[in-house]
Amino acid sequence: MDPHRPETDRRMTRAVALFAVLWLGALAVPRAASAQASAVVLAQATRAYDDLEFDNAAGLLRRALAFQGADALLPADAARALMYLAATELLRERPDSARAVSRRLVLSNPRYRPDELVFPPEVLTFFQEVRRSTPAVIGRAPADTAIRPGAEALEVRLYASTFHDVAATLATGDGRVVRTLYTGPIADSLDLHWNGFDSTGTKPPPSGRYTITVNSLDRQRRVVRILRLPLQVTQGRVDTLPHPAPPADSLLLPERQPMGPALRALAPGALAGVAIAVLPSVVANGEDASGARFVVGGTVTVAGIVAFFSRHPGRAISVNVAHNRTLRDAWRREDAEVARRNTERARGMLGIRSGAPVLLTPEAP
pLDDT tens digit sequence for 79-98: 999 999 999 999 999 999 99
pTM to 2 decimals? 0.58
- Tell me the mean pLDDT in the region 187-210: 91
Q: What is the pLDDT of residue 118?
A: 92
Q: What is the pLDDT of residue 364?
A: 53
- pLDDT tens sequence across 305-327: 655 555 556 677 788 888 889 98
**Domain-by-domain residue ranges, the chain?**
5-132, 137-238+349-360, 249-346
Which CATH code is given to the segment(s) 5-132?
1.25.40
> 3-class secondary structure for 59-127?
HHHHHHHCCCHHHCCCHHHHHHHHHHHHHHHHHCCCHHHHHHHHHHHHHHCCCCCCCCCCCCHHHHHHH
Q: What is the pLDDT of residue 291?
A: 60
Q: What is the pLDDT of residue 293?
A: 54
Averaged pLDDT of the chain: 80
- Range with the largest mean pLDDT of 162-171, 310-319, 351-360: 162-171
- Range with the largest mean pLDDT of 13-17, 57-61, 348-352: 57-61
Sorting pLDDT into bands at 50, 70 and 90, what band is 172? very high
Q: What is the pLDDT of residue 174?
A: 85
Torsion (CA) 181, 110, 228, 357 in degrees, nearest 10: -120
* DSSP code per residue over 171-224: EETTS-EEEEEEEEEESSEEEEEE-S--TTSSSPPPSEEEEEEEEEE-TT--EE
Sorting pLDDT into bands at 50, 70 and 90, what band is 163? very high
**pLDDT of 202 strictly over 90:** no
Q: What is the pLDDT of residue 63?
A: 94
**pLDDT of 284 strictly over 60:** no
Which CATH code is given to the segment(s) 137-238+349-360?
2.60.40.4070
Pairing of strands 177-186, 189-194: unpaired
- Range with the largest mean pLDDT of 22-26, 73-77, 147-151, 283-287: 73-77
d(CA 47, CA 39): 13
Contact indicator for 73, 45 with CB cutoff of 8 Å: no
Query: When comparing pLDDT for 272 and 159, which is higher?
Result: 159
**pLDDT of 228 strictly over 80:** yes
Sorting pLDDT into bands at 50, 70 and 90, what band is 361? confident
Residue 342 C-alpha from the chain's centroid: 23
- pLDDT tens sequence across 124-151: 999 999 999 999 999 999 998 888 888 8
Q: Which residues contact 55 (CB under 8 A, 6 or more apart)?
A: 92
- Tell me the mean pLDDT in the region 95-107: 94
d(CA 116, CA 265): 92
Q: What is the pLDDT of residue 135?
A: 93
